[in-house]
Structure 1
Amino acid sequence: MAADRIGADAIRFLVAGGLNTALTSLVYFAGLTVLPSALSYAIAWLAGLAFAMVFYPDRVFPGGRTGIADRLAIGGSIAVVFVIGLTTLQFLEGILQNTVVAFFMTLATTTVLNFLISRWILRRPC
């Protein structure tokens, strides 16, 4: 059933996303000790991008598209979401004056966008 497949995809995405979030958060907060937030965010997203391109097609959306073009499409979509996230992060930092809260609000926004776009890319018909 389609709803079961969406649910299973969502669970795998959340598990993989949890690992990816742990990795990118570690990179982000470590970077904040010596770098501006925008640069730290960019480096964290690059680490997350590599993780997603390698693991998502095979492990998160199994049975979906796994070719090089599909992995590049995932990378491209994450790059677009990166720009959206960077803009959101800077906007929220300006309003909230709190880099930690701004980061987690940005993380929530980009997580939803990445799931929807990644699922569409890897589950679309051939």
Structure 2
Amino acid sequence: MAVDRIGGDAVRFLVAGGLNTALTSAVYFAGLIVLPSGLSYALAWLAGLVFVMVFYPDRVFPGSRTGLTDRLAIGATIAVVFVVGLVSLHVLQAILQNNVMAFILTLATTTVLNFLFSRWILRR
């Protein structure tokens, strides 16, 4: 049933997101030992992007499209959602005057967008 498939995809997406967060955090903090924070952040973000492009088609959405074009499309949408999240964070901070709530709402929005776009690209 389609709902079961969506639920399985969502659970795998959240687990993979946790792994991705652990990976990127490790890269970021390891990078801080020898790199400026901005460069360390960029390297961590790039590592996360590569993780998504390599891991998601095979493990998060098993049986889906796995071609190079599909992997690049996932990477592109993740990058676009990152920019959307950055803009949203600044707008919500200005409106809400609450950095924590702005972050939580941005995180929720970008997580949902990344799931929907990734699933649409790989399951179409």
Give the partner amino acid of 2:59. R
How do 1:63-82 and structure 2 match up within 5 A? 63-82=63-82
Percent identical among aligned pairs is 77
Could you tell me which residue of structure 2 aligns to residue 21 of structure 1? 21
Change (3 A) 1:113 1:41: farther
Change (3 A) 1:104 1:43: farther
Could you tell me the TM-score, scaled by structure 2's length? 0.77
In structure 1, runs of 5+ residues without a counterpart are: none
Change (3 A) 1:15 1:114: same
Pairs aligned (count): 118
Higher mean Cα deviation, 7-16 or 39-48? Answer: 39-48
Change (3 A) 1:20 1:89: same
Could you tell me the TM-score, scaled by structure 1's length? 0.76
Q: How much has 1:15 moved relative to structure 2? A: 0.5
> Contact 1:61/1:119 (CA < 8 Å) preserved in 2?
yes
Q: Distance in 2 between matches of 1:72 and 1:23?
A: 20
> Contact 1:57/1:71 (CA < 8 Å) preserved in 2?
yes
> Contact 1:41/1:86 (CA < 8 Å) preserved in 2?
no
Change (3 A) 1:86 1:47: farther
Give the partner amino acid of 2:5. R
Q: Deviations over 1:55-86 (max 9, x none)?
A: 00000001000000000000011111011011
Q: How much has 1:2 moved relative to structure 2? A: 0.8
Could you tell me which residue of structure 1 aligns to residue 121 of structure 2? 121
In structure 2, runs of 5+ residues without a counterpart are: none
Q: Distance in 2 between matches of 1:6 and 1:92?
A: 29
1:90 aligns with 2:90: yes
Could you tell me which residue of structure 2 aligns to residue 9 of structure 1? 9
Question: What is the CA RMSD across the aligned residues, in angstroms?
Answer: 2.8
